[in-house]
Structure 1
Amino acid sequence: MSKQDELQMDQQQLVDAWQRTLPEYVNESDRVSVLADEADEQTLRITLDTAGHQMYSFDFKATYVDSREIKVTLIDVEKDGRSVDERTPIIQQLVEDYTRHIHECAQALHVLTNA
């Protein structure tokens, strides 16, 4: 990866932009939390709490591969504060949906990250 292709943005500005933008891509009633990854300034920690009776909480890691592309990794899924099996069809569908929404948000933020 060339130096100019690396993400050249302050991590806190990036977190703020994601915190503002990601809620536009998920269900209105879902709660979104975006934090800086302390160990890697190219990485964000994203927590999505589903609304309604399911009460699932999804933890993702979004790492900028370069200024345009992110790699999204599922870290954990919890229900009522306890880890659950993420291989069930309903959870797999939610993981796919949220991963797609995270990628859509990253594309929307290209104007900032690709500057």
Structure 2
Amino acid sequence: MNEEMLVDQGTLVKAWQQQLPEYLNPGDTSIVQADLADPYGLRIHINAEGRQDYSYDFQCTYMDRREVKVELVDVEREGATVNEQSEQVQNLTEDYVRHIHECAQALQRITNP
């Protein structure tokens, strides 16, 4: 990280927990936790609404005060790991990555005041 974050990880987690649901699809739920291995990182778990019963785990790392890197860690369906290359999973993953970036932009009010 080339610019020092002015916000501690606990404050970031709370802000993300409050803001992220506004960017998700209706019915989706999320859990945001601190990434204990990275003081500038978050772990984001999203349960996709619908009959498919998919859940997604992402690692979100602040590269600087404005930019985040989002990586898919795992996709599960009914508790079992699924093929992340399927078209449906790829499309939902892209949507969620976009929503996470949108949320990060909205939170620049606290990360890049």
TM-score normalised over the length of structure 1: 0.95
Q: After superposition, where does 1:33-112 map in structure 2 within 5 Å? A: 33-112=31-110
Q: C-alpha separation between the residues in 2 aligned to 1:64 and 1:106? A: 9
State the superposition RMSD in angstroms.
0.9
The number of residues matched between the two structures is 113
Q: Which amino acid aligns with 1:96?
A: E
What does residue 24 of structure 1 align with?
22
Q: C-alpha separation between the residues in 1 aligned to 2:4 and 2:102? A: 19
Structure 2 gaps, min length 5 = none
SS in 2 for 1:41: coil
TM-score normalised over the length of structure 2: 0.97
Structure 1 gaps, min length 5 = none
SS in 1 for 2:39: coil
Q: C-alpha separation between the residues in 1 aligned to 2:10 and 2:79? A: 27
The alpha-carbon deviation at position 6 of structure 1 amounts to 2.5
Q: Deviations over 1:79-112 (max 9, x none)?
A: 0011000000000000000000000000000010
Q: C-alpha separation between the residues in 2 aligned to 1:28 and 1:20? A: 15
Q: Which amino acid aligns with 1:77?
A: V
SS in 1 for 2:74: strand
Runs ≥4 residues deviating over 6 A: none
What does residue 8 of structure 1 align with?
6
